[in-house]
Amino acid sequence: MKESEKVTWDQGRCPAQARSSSSHKLMVWLMLFVSLIYMLYTLKLVSTSSRDCNHAPFIINHLSSSSSFPNANVTGKRESSSATGKRRDQKTELRHVVFGIAASSKLWEHRKNYIKIWYRKKEMRGVVWLDDRVKIDPEEGLPPVKVSTDTSNFVYTNKLGHRSAIRISRIVTETLRLGLKDVRWFVMGDDDTVFVSDNLLKILNKYDHNHMYYIGSLSESHLQNIFFSYGMAYGGGGFAISYPLAKALSKIQDRCIQRYPSLYGSDDRMQACMAELGVPLTKELGFHQYDVYGNLLGLLAAHPVTPLVSLHHLDVVEPIFPNVTRIEALQRLTIPMKLDSASLIQQSICYDKKRKWTVSVSWGFAVQIFRGIFTQREMEMPSRTFLNWYRRADYTAYAFNTRPVSRNPCQKPFVFYFSKAKLNSTLQHTVTEYERHLVPHPECHWKMPDPSQLLKVEVHKKPDPHLWDRAPRRNCCRVMKTNKTGMMKIDVGICRDGEIHEPLSL
């Protein structure tokens, strides 16, 4: 390259270098300026946050200042929640429960005797709802009687049922509209329903009455549950509705009923309205519809491990104790009910090892003694001493497991029914006696002791009002030594540590 050309090229390049250097310096100063502004802004925010929030992060200061009023609401909610908690801690008592009893004027003179067995006028509140006026004796100690509102404007199209179902389905709503104070639960039942009120309270105290609950149980008949619903509480066995749910029901029930003119009964209409409210059935097995015929021995002697709450269809089944009327039988049952309602009809299973007998105690009801050894799994299943609602001896028609009545003459149980009881108030100890039901027994050729030599069973037990405050478990029973001829002595109570009655170890 020539010298003159080189000079010319260098002179052309110098202005561009100057411009580049100037731009670079400008960018550096700009970045320093932005960084300084950012630092100053950050320091300002931190210092403001420190003054307002006592050194809490600045984002919390932003939330705090923008939500000062909501915080006040949260405090109010906590106080409200605390108050609700205090109310929840107060146990539900009989004064918090109102019974709505569905009754018929045609059957009133007879069925009112069932209500007399369990209703305590001085402690309970309830209303009997009838279809027509009846004669009332104030001295009988029955609940007030009212005639239901006319329901002739409601459409009923079921050809197999009766339109009284509409009247009965509105009982909870009509009872609510009486405006009774301090009500937590409405309990529905029929005039032939018998309640064990103390056990009912045990069940209700499991649930918060401030929320919507629909509590009851199913039919014993599988077919009934299919025809109606496995999500429906059967009203004869009784069901409980919390006050908030009853209030919500009252707002929609008349319109709800109009939507289901083809339903059969009151129970399915009630369940249909529960479905519209979105409230499912809470199942408690102690409510008994007893859609069966015949002898309840098999069902009552193997009662599930849950409090006995109710009995129904008492005009349909045989008296629960033999050789007495239905009313007399139920009156007898109230004797152990008053001594220890929590343990009423609760099953215990043990073995007489020496004589190789299986013993099943249904406290306050019956004791059964079997020759030979039966497992607890067999004994806790109800024996089929009854027929299903459709009068067929079909074991598949039940909504629970059952076992057949043994055809082996040596395995026919010897049944001892409750006869009397006494309480030692000093020792807090009950003694209940059970007398053998004297019926002919088939001849047995087994070479073992014969239970027919026994005429009486004596059961010793301490009352256990806190039975259902613990985890569910059957009580244990133990065969005790006795010198009395013709008597067996049994102790029933909480299972001791490590106590297990194994049939295979005999």
Q: What is the pLDDT of residue 35?
A: 72
Which residues have a Cβ under 8 Å from the Cβ of 46 and sit 6 or more positions away? 58
User: What is the per-residue pLDDT for 63?
Assistant: 33
Residues 226 and 364 in one domain: no
SS (H, E, C) 283-335: ECCCCCCCCEEECCHHHHCCCCCCCCCEECCCCCCCCCCCCCCHHHHHHHHHH
Report whether 337 contacts 310 (CB < 8 A).
no
**Residue 86 is assigned to a structural domain of this protein:** no
- Strands in 366-371's sheet, in edge-to-edge order, are 347-352, 357-362, 366-371, 414-424, 429-436, 456-461, 487-493, 476-480
179 DSSP assignment = -
How far is the C-alpha of 269 from the C-alpha of 266, rounded, in Å? 5
Residues in contact with 21: Cβ distance below 8 Å, sequence separation at least 6, in sequence order = none
365 domain residue, yes or no: yes
CA distance 10 to 41: 47
Encoded amino acid at 188, one letter: M
Last residue of a domain, one of 247, 272, 289: 289
* Domain end point (choices 16, 32, 47): 47
Asked if the structure places residue 295 within a domain, the reply is: no
Single pTM value for the model: 0.81
Spatial separation of the C-alpha atoms in residues 175 and 193, rounded to whole Å: 18
Inside any domain, residue 134: yes
Give yes or no: residues 280 and 375 share one domain: no
Residues 276, 191, single domain; the answer is yes
Would 220 be classed as within a structural domain?
yes
Contacts of 307 (CB under 8 A, 6+ apart): 196, 199, 202, 203, 286, 341, 342, 468
Q: Check residue 425 and give its pLDDT.
A: 83
Please provide the size of the chain in residues: 506
Helix H or strand E encompassing 214:
strand 214-216
Both 108 and 251 in a single domain?
Answer: yes
Tell me, yes or no, whether 80 lies in a domain.
no
- Residue 258 and residue 154 share a domain: yes
Residue 318 lies in a domain: no
Q: What is the pLDDT of residue 66?
A: 37
β partners of residue 97: 185
Burial 477-497 (b: 16+ CB within 10 A, else e): bbbeeeeeeeebbbbbbeeee
- 412 with 354, same domain: the answer is yes
Q: Is residue 472 domain-resident? A: yes
pLDDT at 59 (0 to 100): 35
- Please check whether residues 109 and 236 belong to one and the same domain: yes
**Shared domain check, 395 and 251:** no
Q: Exposed (0-12), middle (13-18) or buried (19+): which is 81, by Cβ within 10 Å?
A: exposed
Query: Do 396 and 453 share a domain, yes or no?
Result: yes
User: For residues 201 and 94, is the Cβ–Cβ distance under 8 A?
Assistant: yes
Instruction: Check residue 506 and give its pLDDT.
Output: 47
Q: What is the DSSP string of 428-497?
A: TEEEEEEEE----------SS--GGG--EEEEEE---TTGGGSPP-PPEEEEEP---TTEEEEEEESPPT
Task: Kindly report the CATH number assigned to the domain that includes residue 236.
Answer: 3.90.550.50
Q: Which secondary structure element, helix H or strand E, spans residue 12, and what is its range?
A: helix 3-53
Return per-residue pLDDT of the chain as tens, 506 residues: 444 444 344 444 444 444 455 666 777 677 777 677 767 666 665 454 444 444 433 333 333 333 333 333 433 443 444 444 444 568 999 999 999 999 999 999 999 999 999 999 999 999 999 999 999 998 899 999 999 999 999 999 999 999 999 999 999 999 999 999 999 999 999 999 999 999 999 999 999 999 999 999 999 999 899 999 999 999 999 999 999 999 999 999 999 999 999 999 999 999 999 999 999 999 999 999 999 999 999 999 999 999 999 999 999 999 999 999 999 999 999 999 999 999 999 999 999 999 999 999 999 999 999 999 999 999 999 999 998 888 776 778 899 999 999 889 999 999 999 999 999 888 889 999 999 999 988 899 899 999 999 999 999 999 999 999 999 999 999 999 998 999 999 999 999 999 988 886 54
Q: What is the rounded CA–CA span in Å between residue 232 and residue 219?
A: 9
DSSP codes of every residue in 80-96: HHHHHHHHHHSPP-GGG
- Work out how many domains the chain is built from and give that number: 3
Distance CA(123)–CA(94), nearest Å, equals: 7
**For residues 213 and 278, what is the distance between their CA atoms, to the nearest angstrom?**
11
Best CA proximity match to 487, nearest among 443, 451, 460: 451
Give the contacts of 157 (CB within 8 A, at least 6 positions apart). Answer: 261, 262
Clarify whether residues 95 and 36 are in a common domain: no
Range of the domain at 142: 91-289
Taking only Cα atoms into account, the Rg of the chain, rounded to an integer number of angstroms, comes to: 37
Are residues 102 and 7 located together in one domain of the fold?
no
Distance of alpha carbon 224 from alpha carbon 445, whole angstroms:
43
Is the domain of 25 the same as that of 127?
no
Contact 142, 121 (CB under 8 A): yes
Any idea what the CATH number is for the domain that residue 381 is in?
2.70.130.10
